[in-house]
Structure 1
Amino acid sequence: MRFVLAGLLIFAAIPAAAADLPADLLKCAGTARDAERLACYDAAVAAVSAEARAIAGRRAAESARIAAEEKAAADAAAKARAEREAAERAVRKKADFGAEAIASRAEEVRKERAVGEIEEIEAGLSEVLTGRTGLAVFVLDNGQLWRQVDTQSLPNARPGDRVKVERATLGGYNLVLLKQKRRFLVRRMR
């Protein structure tokens, strides 16, 4: 019996409470879109209470701060991504220098060539070998392997010497021993 009485009191109070609602709140209830309806309710409540206005102001300031932080974080992430991609391209360009001479990678490297391609690399000699033809094979500290193509006499090159590999005039590559200033026509093997 008590539950029935409590239920009747609640249903009787609803029409009385509806009569007390300001017209602005009733207008908000008819708004179809959720975001617009919420904004309408916030504005209606803010008009009724100074405390609600203060809360709405703090909420707006907090929303603006969060949006600014998210934008700054997104900008920083985009900048970091661009720098990382530029560094990866630079490393890839150095690793691919002369790789078009390697048959398995020739087409791939030609497709990737772009404006601003590097014209030379500098590295240290890890090892100097002599092939069965008597020509030198240079192993660089970056892992590249270059074979002497011309028949100049083998220089006195030692591991640790600095070399520069540069594009030659007619499309090949020259290996320059920097200490001796000697130049050899070479072809990349690996």
Structure 2
Amino acid sequence: MNVAVGNRDESLAPAERRAEIAAVDLALYSTRFTGCRDRQFEFARGTLLAKIYSSGKLDEAQLRGAHRVLADFERAEGNSGGVTMPWSDRDDTPTTGKDSTRRAWTNSAHDRLSFLLDRELTSRERQLFIDLFVHDYFKRWSGDRLPEMGFLLTGYAGKDQATSAGVSRIQALLERIARFYGEV
């Protein structure tokens, strides 16, 4: 009987277990990550996205997801914060029987960002999203934030480990965003 890996009632003999682990390792390592360095995906200098992009740590789907978020931020911004309202003459007459409530609406980019933040991302992903896109990209944090993000999100204390953890968390977030925008 052929049972899927990890779905057994009893453990394997040590030799069989090592052989199975080696087969899984081989399958995992046969898929190589290839970072995308297409010039159309460049980000603002000095940002974490630019740093990770320049080191080749993001694939094309992740880059497309990040660009879709940034494009939605640009379309959703404005003096009204994305909220628009129709203009009309003021009517001081009594409103008995009339619907006099003002209506406001937002543009589709604002709605997509709201839906992404409120319904699609977990609270930790939302925190990372705000740090990555709002605080770092638009407010321009200074310093090397990757180790700090890795430490805060995963608890790694060493700079190299924390940096790797920060990059992997950002990759996972951008992968989720890419799925949301249909880029995967």
Q: Judging by fraction of residues, say which structure has more helix.
A: 2
Give the TM-score taking structure 1 as reference length. Answer: 0.20
Q: Judging by fraction of residues, say which structure has more strand.
A: 1
Mark the structure with the bigger radius of gyration. 1
Question: Relative contact order, CA 8 A, sep 6+: which one is greater?
Answer: 2
Give the TM-score taking structure 2 as reference length. Answer: 0.20
